[in-house]
Amino acid sequence: MKKEEKNVKTLSLPLFVTNRSGKRKWITMNSYRNWHYQENNNIKRWFKRDVTQQLNFVIKGAVRIEYFYFAPDKRTRDLMNVVSVIDKYFQDAMVELGCIEADDLSIVKEVSCMYMGIDRENPRLDVMITKL
């Protein structure tokens, strides 16, 4: 049984998933809009597979979700291009695994994101979930 967290939960989310053949699939809005619906479903399942181990908590009631983006290089990127699809997949995974009750406005009251600079060794999207 999962334990209920009282205040804050911090996790690190991948910016890509790896398919069966070992090829990286970067999760961005530009990629998302070009994927066939079956490919999108596979990538969403692979993302959930990769984050499930971190989703061992339950938060009852309203939450705030804050994303902190660490880029892989100095290329200019649109922050929401990176965050939007991962946010969708992540909130869906939290609901499916029972971490939060729903991903609608009755539960997720705030979502924000911030660029944190470059981390060439470990590009990622850190997330902080706060019970309101």
Give the model's pLDDT for residue 1.
Answer: 46
Reported confidence tier of residue 90, pLDDT bands at 50, 70, 90: very high
Residue 46 belongs to a domain with what CATH number?
A: 3.30.1330.70
Distance (Å, rounded) from C-alpha 25 to C-alpha 4?
A: 33
- Give the closest residue to 47 by CA, choosing from 108, 110, 95, 92: 92
111 pLDDT higher than 50: yes
Question: Domain total for the chain?
Answer: 1
Give the domain range for residue 90. Answer: 3-131
> Tokens 């965050």 label which residue?
83
Reported confidence tier of residue 127, pLDDT bands at 50, 70, 90: very high
Reported confidence tier of residue 24, pLDDT bands at 50, 70, 90: confident
- Residues with Cβ within 8 Å of 117's Cβ and at least 6 positions away in sequence, in order, are 70, 71
> Average pLDDT of 59-78?
93
6 pLDDT higher than 60: no
Question: Does the predicted model carry a pTM greater than 0.75?
Answer: yes
Give the model's pLDDT for residue 9.
Answer: 77
> Average pLDDT of 63-72?
95
How much is the CA Rg of the chain, to the nearest whole Å?
15
What does each C-alpha distance from 91 to 12, 120, 121, 122 come to in angstroms?
14, 26, 26, 22
